[in-house]
Amino acid sequence: MSPEDAPEADEASDPPIEAAINVVPVWRVDSGELHSRRGGIVDPEAETLDEELVLALADSVVTLSAPVDLSPRALTVLREQLPLPPAFDRSGSLRGHQLLELDAQGRTVVDEVTIHHHTTFGLLVRDRGRSLE
């Protein structure tokens, strides 16, 4: 079927297109260092990352999808405000992934988006700024 033969979609009845962000959670420990889930030290300003750390970080990647895991607004906030370390883009397997810095208790707030790492359920996202549309 050519594009000309395809029926026109009714935008009002089309399901929303799922969008996602890949985040790499790291924890800021009491010493001020950032640690991966496996305990490796992460320097977001580094030019390169060693292979062992890249593998550990790649193993901890979380994909958050809208509207399943977070609101479309929260997705936009995270995409705009979470850093994309240059070393991630140079690493290959972390290309395009964004750094999610959590405190020692596994929490962070980005704008009005609260994220908590739960040991059983993973990352839980709450958007306090979400409108009731």
CB–CB of 28/117 below 8 Å?
no
Dihedral sign, Cα of residue 81, residue 85, residue 90, residue 95: negative
Is 50 within the bounds of a domain? yes
Half-sphere exposure of 45 (CA within 13 A, CB side): 1
Label residue 92 by pLDDT band (50, 70, 90).
confident
In a domain, residue 112? The reply is yes
Looking at the domain assignment, is residue 4 inside a domain?
no
**Residue range of the domain that includes 38:** 19-127
Domains of the chain: total:
1
Using one digit for the tens of pLDDT, what is the confidence trace for 46-69?
999 999 999 999 999 999 999 999
Instruction: Kindly report, residue by residue over 25-36, the tens digit of the pLDDT.
Output: 999 999 999 999
